[in-house]
Amino acid sequence: MFVPVERLLLRLRQPASRAVELVALRRRLRAERASVVTSDERTLAAEVAHAKLAVAEAIGSVASCGSCAARQPWPVGGFAGGACCAGVTANIFDDHELAALAHAGTRPRDLRPPAGRDIHAGCAFRGAEACSLALEHRPARCVHYVCDTLRAELHRGGRLDHVEAQLAGLDRAMRAFTAARRARQDREVLAPVVEAVIDAVRAAARRGRPSP
């Protein structure tokens, strides 16, 4: 009953398209949080979260993002800022990004949409003034993307080299997490196959015939 009630409340408070995307995203997050993962994955997810905060701190307050989407086609131009936030929610929160958030502690209730019935123009968390998510609950790619305009601003301020060093650290952390997650998923897929082969070998041995 929880998801239907959640969907109803969101539809009353949000544009229908945003409500649908939010319900789907929260459902995926619940499933990921319920999965059994290795301690390495949790450690690496925490490292991604730490590196993400380090990038945001290095970038600091910037002017480039406030009006970068102005006068651009829909949905990018739906709001003046956040052109990089105009993508599809499910693509921004892909499986690896969502898993990194889930195992660093993000909960479904942390995925809060903008207040009121703002138009839905891109990511479900893109609001008229800013992203509605706290930084720790945003995907790593949300701070990893540095457009040419922002890069030029950082260069003028003498911060570009430091930001790029932090971005490299975030990239390494995310790559390591993704590799660990894929390795665990591969083991989960192969485990039943290996078990079936072992059972077949044992059964053949009991019958005294060569195994297939």
Write out the H or E segment, with its range, that includes residue 102.
Answer: helix 95-102
pLDDT at 1 over 70: no
Least confident residue range of 47-51, 105-109, 114-118: 114-118
| Amino acid at position 25, single letter | L
Does 88 fall in a domain?
Answer: yes
Domain extent at residue 65: 2-207
Q: Which of 66-80, 137-151, 159-173, 195-209 is least confident? A: 195-209
Question: What is the percent of the chain with per-residue pLDDT over 90, rounded to a whole number?
Answer: 73
Indicate whether 107 belongs to any domain. yes
Q: Up-side HSE of residue 140: CA atoms within 13 Å toward CB?
A: 32
Reply yes or no on whether the pLDDT at 62 is more than 50.
yes
Specify if 212 maps to a domain: no
Mean of the per-residue pLDDT values of the chain: 89
Q: How many CA atoms lie within 13 A of 131 on its CB side?
A: 20
Q: CA angle, corner 161, sides to 159 and 165, nearest 5?
A: 115
* Interval 138-159 mean pLDDT: 94
Q: Which amino acid is at 80?
A: A
Which tens digits make up the pLDDT trace of 99-110?
Answer: 999 999 999 999
User: Considering its fold, how many domains does the chain have in total?
Assistant: 1
**Closest CA relative to residue 58, chosen from 158, 178, 207, 130:** 158
Say if 146 falls within a structural domain.
Answer: yes
Average pLDDT over residues 24-52: 97
pLDDT tens profile 71-95: 899 999 999 998 999 999 999 999 9
Q: What is the pLDDT of residue 8?
A: 52
| pLDDT-above-70 percentage for the chain | 88
